[in-house]
Each structure stands twice: as structure tokens, then as C-alpha cells.
Amino acid sequence: MKIIIPVKRVLDPYTQARVNNQTQQVDLTNAKMAMNPFCEIAVEEALTLKESGSASETIAVSIGTDKTVDTLRTALAMGVDRAIFVKTDSELDLQPLHVAKILANIIKREEAQLVIMGKQAVDNDNNQTGQMLSGLIDYSLGTFISKFDLSADASSVEVCREIDSGIETRKLNLPAIVTVDLRLNEPRYASLPNIMKARSKPLETIELSSLEIDTAPRIKVVSVEESGTKDRASKQISSAEELFNELNQMGVL
Amino acid sequence: MERESIEYDVVIVGGGPSGLASACKLKQLNPNLSVCLLEKGSEIGSHILSGAVFEPKTLFDLFPDDAKDCPTLKTPVAKDDLFWLTGENKSIKVPSWLMPKSLHNKGNYIISLGELCQWISEKAMELGVDIFPGFPAQSYLKDESGRVIGISTGDMGIDKEGNQKGTYTPGMDILAKQTIFAEGARGHLGKQLIREFNLDEGKTPQHFAIGFKEVWEVDNDNHSPGDVVHTMGWPLNKGTTGGGFLYHFDNKRVAVGLIVDLNYTNPSHSPFQEFQQFKKHPKIKQFLDSGKRVSYGARAITKGGINSLVKMDFNGGMIIGCDAGTLNPSKIKGSHCALQSGILAAEYIHKILNEEICDFDDLFKGSSLYQELYKSRNFSAAMHKFGFYVGAAYNFIESNIFRNALPFTIKDEQRDCDSLNLNNPLYAKEYPAPDNVLSFDITSSLFLSGTNHEEDQPVHLKLTDPSIPLTRNKELFDEPAQRYCPAGVYEIIDKEGEDYFQINAQNCLHCKTCDIKDPSQNINWTPPEGGGGPNYIGM
């Protein structure tokens, strides 16, 4: 069974996002980038399956400009077998539907039975790509996964979903897509020896233009603003009553 | 899991200007050498902080064809002003002819040193250097004869108590014929090497300062790219020397900073607060008005000059750049010296790997770096020994009248950790609360440094004797760590009615000031788990 793990290069979530007033976009000049934390969890889950003998091959896929290769190298250093890099022009603003269509193309080509991906990317927080992808290629879908159990014959998976009312358990028939939540596992480090070894692992580059996917934007960004400064001092509150009174006083209720 | 090991011809610890320059020069001299460079920051440049006005000549020596295309060199210095701030609102402009020659900046550029390092690292990778950011060298390795034979990276995935977590990943040994240490000011391995190999024998103790820097985005008519302002005097006063700077660079950005010498005497002195006050002076404020602070950082600087420069070669390796102390204190510039020291180290190592007979001292004494440092040998020591006024006057006379040719050397034998007077409430310093327009508190400042550490790991600031902060240091100096640390790492808090010394290690900016200034020399800075620390952008 082949597993595809789509990974995204995002602004490091531990750094501060700043808006460039001229371009009306988050300023990524010299910013520190990292693999989306949810994607790291997806990689970890795929590697665990490979190590347990349930998967034959793990393939990381990412879409972006040349720098995106760094993120794929991180996935390779964590232990993924090979990587596919879909190369774009720098100006291109890819939206969830475009990404889902690109991934659909790669998944069909690789005949992958299982797609493990982050529930969302921490930069745009769209939480749409997995769902759209499932619709496009007609795979079973499990979102917000915090537990993943593959059946012995590898024909289905039992997953736990973290939903508002609690934990929901579902059985999905393969082929399937799962989008993972934070509590599924703790991703491993890319160790120095593995980073060195990752340099010689296969990384295939595909030009986005060769896939003939319509990348005309479907969503228009109206404006981007920095979140307000943290000017309100925090205050510890001992009871719900006190909280209610405080909120009332602030006039936010 | 077992520790793995790998061999290189040369391994370099630290991805600042000196380490990167030696990596590039080694590959230029012999493309067949295998060269590996480790950097503790999560990326090249993420732990780099400097003013910076940069003297570009050495960069052109290193990359004769490419340096002109370096995108970092885009703001040439246009105007050079020096002000003596005589009080909160008062200042005197020092006329150009009275300025020490070393402070003239014609032909220099205002740059971000972090961005420059990123550019050099791209060149290094093109030359075939293996660069690994996010991996600190934890210790150096020696063979039975005592020769340094490489370094060891730290383990990852260790919890607060020192137990292995599920993500435990052992470090790796990197063995090399020659190991270059280029960790910057007060490197933790450099410190051990200096002691073990007596590299500071016959030298005066190294002297340090703490440098603060903020970058502001400004929107006012006073912005003029290329303008350089240096200040002396206020808010620093008797017992404290140092100076301020304000540089206008591109994209409406202004770099503002204060350098405070760490031989200050008053234990209630807070370099961070002095810096926050400094920005309120009219000569500085006018450029920050209606601006927004976008980053903050602090780093120790070595400034002892050639009197304190340690012997740079030892059995199996070299120590270079600010790790050794190559900064030129009279120019308050270290980047070009660091590059030069890296190039010299590469030339020397290239020779000895070819089994040519070569003495590093001869190579160094024949270099322009030595000439430059020798000329400015009395600058810092005069400031330290005679105080600000006489020191400054001496430096003017020596550099502008005698052209640095006086036949004697002034030395300052006192270590920075020994300069504190006993705590005396009579001289206690009080600082106004932050106005959140020009001055800020540590918490909001730290947020802008991007510093971050994995929380569940052993504290990387190690106390030799855990009782000292609350006994000797508290009784004699009211534990000055609470004030000299620019990141609020050290606090004495009340825990169930008793004093408790808390170390907020996750706030650490890796500036090394505690390791330098602790009056009991009880704090040991060690590298935390790889990738931790500040994430400076454009600093």
C-alpha cells in the first residue's frame, strides 16, 4: 500500500506574522519558514505505518517555488521514501481547490490507496483541501483524526474524530483520505545523520504547467490586517459569575 | 539508538561571518576538501545581531566577482553624525574634525548582518559546503594525545528531568582533521578551549559589552537612508561607558541600539532600561516618531581588542572571530575583522592539511587584520581605565594627532564580572514605567525577538552552585542577573513565603551576558536543544 502525504511550507508558527502594507499580504521576505505542524503529524503517522509493515512506500508531495524543496527534504529526513515536487511560478496564489486538483492528479498517477494530510495549514487555516480532494477522487474521508487503526487485511481503517460534541469513531473503507489533528501523535525529529542521508533520496520535479490545471483564483482576498496588539492586561478570574460581571462591564455581552 | 559518526576534512562551529568566510575560503583554495558547518540557530542568520555599519573591502576580497551583486549592500553611508548627549534633552554635535578617525564611515554600508550571512551561506553551499542549521555543537572531542578531533552534537528529545522522551534522538559525532570554532562572543566551547589550551596566557582579560538593537518601521519626513548617528553620554553616566547608534536603512527602516560596557559598577543598573530611556532623547526620538517597532534583540560583544585577543590556533583546530575576540573596538566594528580572521584560518588550515610548514602567528602578524587591531590597541583599555571623559580625550589625541603610533600599550586587568560595587540603596537606580510608545517592557520586546525553545527540556543555563543566587549574589549585589539579562530569564519570586530563584530558560536570547557578568561566575551558558533561541529577521 502506497501512502501519499501532502506537506506544506508555511511561515514558522512560532514567529510573528507581519503584513506588508503595499502588497496587502503577509510579508514573507526573509521570514523563517517551516513544515506545517499538522503535516508533520501526517508524516509521522505514515512513517509509523511503514515501520509496522503496513505500507509499502511513503511519498511526500508539495507544491510551490524552489524553496519548497527544503520542506520536502525535511520530510525525507524524517524518513519518507521519496518526494514529488510540483513547481510553480512565484506569483501564483494557489487556493484549496487548485491544490486539491493537483493532488488528485498525483494520487491517481501513483495509485495511492491512502492519503494522510494535515487538517489545515496554519497560514491560511482554510481546512478545505482534504474535503475537496475526497470529492474529486471519490475516496472515503475522515477529518480531524486523533486515532488511526488500520485493519489487519488493510481494507479499512477505524478512526477517531475530534468533533464539537466529543469523539466520534468511524470506519472508513480504503481507498481513503484522512486529515489529522494535533493529538494523533508526536512527530519525530529529523536527525543530523538522516538529514545527510535524505540528500540522496529521490525527489522528482513536475512543472505545474505540465498538469494543465486551471489555476484561476476562485477566492478574492479583500484585505489583510495585523491582529490587534495585546494591550489588555490579563486577569485571573475565580468564578463564572465574576467572569460574567467582568464581561458585562467591558460591554462585550 | 546508537550515536552515529561521520568524518570531514574540516568542521566549522557557527554560521556567522567568520565561520562562513573560512568555509568559503577553504573550498576556494581546495574544492576537494570536505567542509561541514554547524549552526545552532534554526536558520543561518537567525541568531545574528549586529548594528550594522559594514566595511565591505574583505567581502570583495573573498568574492571578487560576486560581492557587487550582494543584495545586502544597498544602503551606502551618506552622512555621519556624532552627538554627545549631555542630558535628557541636551546634546552637543561633535564636529567632524574632532571625531576619532575610526568613526568615519565613508565607503561603508548600512546592512543587516543576518541577511549578509544568509547570502554568504548561499555562496558557501554553491561551493559545496555542507551547512546544517539547527544543530549546536555540544562538546568537542579529543584523542588520547589531547588533540581536538571534532565535535559532538547534542541529543534531542530529553525532558526537564533529563529522561529520554518518545522523540529521543541521539546526537552525532562529527570528526575532522581540523575543527574551527566560530561561535561568536563568549562561545561556550571557545570558553572551555581557551581554558584548556591556555589560549589567553599573557593576555589581558577579555572585555565585553551588551548590545541592544531594535528595528523600527518609520513613516516620517526625517527618514533619510544612509544616515548614521552615533551618540555617547546620556543615559549612561558615571561608572558606565558605552554608546548609542541609529542607522537609517532601506524600506523606511531604522535600526536603533545602545551598547553598554559590561564593566559597569552599579549592581542596580539595568542595561535594558537604559536602552529604553535612550530612545526618548530628542536626537533619537525625532526619527522614531509615528513609527512601529518590528524587532528586538540583544547580544554580547567582545571588545577587548588585540590586548585580549586569544591565541587562535591549538592542537587540532582554530578559534576565530568574536569567539577569539577579533572585533576592532575603536571602530566598534567586528564583521569585517571576523571575515578576515575566517579567511586567515582557512589559509592556514589549507597549508597545514597540505603538510606545509606554517606558523599561524607569522601569518597573522603579516595580515592587515593585525595591523588594524594593533593600531587600536589602547582604545577600550583607555575608556575602561580612565573613564569616559579622559578616555575619549585620550583616544582622540592618540588616533587623530599621533595616528595610533604611540609607543606604549594601556592594559585593563580587571574582569567584567569583578567590577560590581556592593549593593547600596543610596545609589539604587529607578527607571520610569514604559510608555509603550518609545519605551517598552521586556515581555513585549521578547515577543518581537521571536525567541522560542522547546519547553520540556533541561534548563540550559546551568548553575555550578544553585544556592549562590539567593545567598552571595543576593546579599552583596541584590542578584544583578534580574537586571542585566535582556530577556527576563532570571527572577527572584515569592514561593509560599520564601524567595525562589526562577530561571525562565525559554526566554533566553543566547546573548551570553549572564555567563560573562555573573559576579560569582556561577552561571554556565550551554546550548539548548537544536533550533531553539531567537529568530531574528533583518537584524
Rounded mean pLDDT of B244-255? 92
Nearest CB to A32; choose among B153, B436, B535: B535
The beta-carbon neighbor of A30 closest among B157, B452, B538 is B538
Query: Is the pLDDT reported for residue B274 higher than 80?
Result: yes
Q: Is the pLDDT of residue B310 over 60?
A: yes
Final residue in a domain of this structure, among B349, B375, B401: B375
Do residues B492 and B354 both lie within one domain?
no
Which of B114, B167, B537 shows the shortest C-beta gap to A188? B167
Tell me what pLDDT residue A25 has.
82
Closest-CA residue of chain B to A191:
B169
B130 domain-assigned: yes
Residue where one domain finishes, among candidates B359, B375, B391 = B375
Predicted local distance difference test score (pLDDT) of residue B402: 60
- Residue B449 CA to residue B534 CA, distance in Å, equals 6
* B235, part of any domain: no
Size of interface A-B (CB pairs under 8 A): 51
Domain hosting B361: range is 4-67+114-205+305-375
Cell of B351: 597549508
Higher pLDDT, A232 or B375: B375
What local confidence, expressed as pLDDT, does residue B378 receive?
74
For B458-501, the pLDDT digits (tens) are: 999 999 999 999 999 999 999 999 999 999 999 999 988 999 99
**Quick one: pLDDT band at residue B407, thresholds 50, 70, 90?**
low
Confidence (pLDDT) at B375: 84
Contacting residues for B441 by C-beta, under 8 A, at least 6 apart: B434
Q: What is the pLDDT of residue B391?
A: 65
Q: Is B17 contained in some domain?
A: yes
- Looking at the fold, whether B62 and B166 belong to one and the same domain comes out as yes
Q: Is the pLDDT of residue B409 over 90?
A: no
Is the pLDDT at B389 greater than 90? The verdict is no
Residue B356 shares a structural domain with residue B487: no
Q: How many CB atoms neighbour CB B37 within 10 A? A: 28
Residue B445 lies in a domain: yes
Residues B365 and B491 in one domain: no
Among B5-14, B125-134, B378-387, B518-527, whose mean pLDDT is lowest? B378-387
Kindly state the DSSP code that residue B230 receives in the 8-state scheme.
Answer: E
Contact A32 B452 (CB under 8 A): no
Is 70 exceeded by the pLDDT of residue A94? yes
Confidence of residue B118 (pLDDT cuts 50, 70, 90): very high
Q: Among B2, B4, B435, B453, which would you mutate to test the A interface (most chain A Cβ atoms within 10 Å of its Cβ)?
A: B4
Among A138, A80, A176, A153, residue whose Cα is nearest residue A161: A176
Q: Is residue B98 part of a domain?
A: no
Query: B60 and B140, same structural domain?
Result: yes
Span B420-446, pLDDT tens digits:
999 888 888 899 999 999 999 999 999
A79 touching chain B per CB within 8 A:
no
- The conformation of residue B203, written as its DSSP 8-state character, comes to S
Q: Does residue A232 surpass a pLDDT of 60?
A: no
Residue spans of the domains in chain A: they are 2-221
Summarised one tens digit per residue, pLDDT across range B186-232 is: 999 999 999 999 999 999 999 999 999 999 999 878 889 999 999 99
Taking residues A208-213, report their average pLDDT. 93
The nearest CA of chain B is from the CA of A30 a distance in Å of 6
DSSP B95-146: PGGGS-GGG--TT-EE--HHHHHHHHHHHHHHTT-EEEET--EEEEEE-TTS
Question: Which pLDDT value is given to residue B109?
Answer: 95
B158 membership: H or E segment, kind and range: strand B156-158
Q: What is the pTM of this model?
A: 0.90
End-of-domain residue from the set B330, B347, B375: B375
Res A13: pLDDT: 87
Q: Grid coordinates representing A228?
A: 490587534
pLDDT, mean of residues B152-162: 94
pLDDT band of residue A195 (cuts 50, 70, 90) is very high
B448 pLDDT above the threshold of 70: yes
B151-176 core/surface letters (b: 16 or more CB in 10 A; e: else): bbbbbbbbbeeeeeeebebbbbbbbb
What is the residue-wise DSSP string for B298-353? EEEEE--GGGTPPP-EETTEEE-GGGTT--BTTTTB-HHHHHHHHHHHHHHHHHHH
pLDDT per residue as tens digits for the range A141-157: 999 999 999 999 989 99
Number of domains in chain B: 2
Which one has a higher pLDDT value, B407 or B423?
B423
Together in a domain, B39 and B137: yes
pLDDT at res. A207: 96
Domain at B43, CATH number = 3.50.50.60
- pLDDT of res. B145: 96
Mutate to test the interface with A, among B132, B535, B539 (most CBs of A within 10 A): B535
Residue A91 confidence (pLDDT) above 80: no
- Does residue B340 lie within any of the structural domains? yes
* CATH classification for the domain delimited by A2-221, as one of 2.40.40.20, 3.30.470.160, 1.20.58.1610, 3.40.50.620: 3.40.50.620
The reply to whether B336 and B438 lie within a common domain is no
Residues B361 and B504 occupy one common structural domain: no
pLDDT surpasses 70 at B381: no
Inter-chain residue contact B132 with A195, CB threshold 8 Å: yes
Tens digit of each residue's pLDDT (9 = 90 or more) over A56-85:
999 999 999 999 999 999 999 999 999 999
- Within this chain, do residues B171 and B48 fall inside the same structural domain, yes or no? yes
Q: Dig out the grid coordinates for A166 from the structure.
A: 466529543
Are B59 and B194 found together in one domain? yes
CB contact under 8 A, B447 and A30: no
- Inform me whether the pLDDT recorded for B238 exceeds 60: yes
pLDDT band per the 50, 70, 90 thresholds, residue B380: low
- B450·A32 Cβ contact <8 A: yes
Per-residue pLDDT, averaged over A97-119, amounts to 97
User: At B447, which CATH number?
Assistant: 3.30.70.20
Q: What's the average model confidence in pLDDT over B141-147?
A: 96
Confidence of residue A234 (pLDDT cuts 50, 70, 90): low
- State which of A239-243, B376-380, B383-387 shows the largest mean pLDDT: A239-243
The DSSP secondary-structure symbol of B148 reads E
Q: Shortest CB distance from B46 goes to which of A32, A189, A230?
A: A32
pLDDT in tens, B318-365: 999 999 999 998 888 999 999 999 999 999 999 999 999 899 999 999
- Note whether residue B501 is domain-resident: yes
- Residue in chain A closest to B116 (alpha carbons) equals A30
Asked, for residue B514, whether it belongs to a domain, the answer is yes
On whether both B454 and B366 belong to a single domain, the answer is: no
pLDDT for B431: 93
A187 and chain B: CB distance < 8 Å anywhere? yes
Higher-confidence residue of B46 and B382: namely B46
Least confident of B6-15, B61-70, B154-163, B387-396: B387-396
Q: Is the ipTM of this complex over 0.95?
A: no
Whether residues B345 and B440 fall in one domain: no
Nearest CA to CA, how far is A183 from chain B (Å)?
14
Q: Is A196 on the interface with B (CB under 8 A)?
A: yes
Residues in CB range of B461: below 8 A, 6 or more apart: B489, B503, B505, B508, B514, B523, B524, B525, B526
Chain B residue whose CA is closest to A22? B251
A188 touches chain B (CB under 8 A): yes
pLDDT at A249: 86
Asked if the C-beta of B156 comes within 8 angstroms of chain A's C-beta atoms, the answer is yes
Nearest residue in A to B294, CA atom: A18
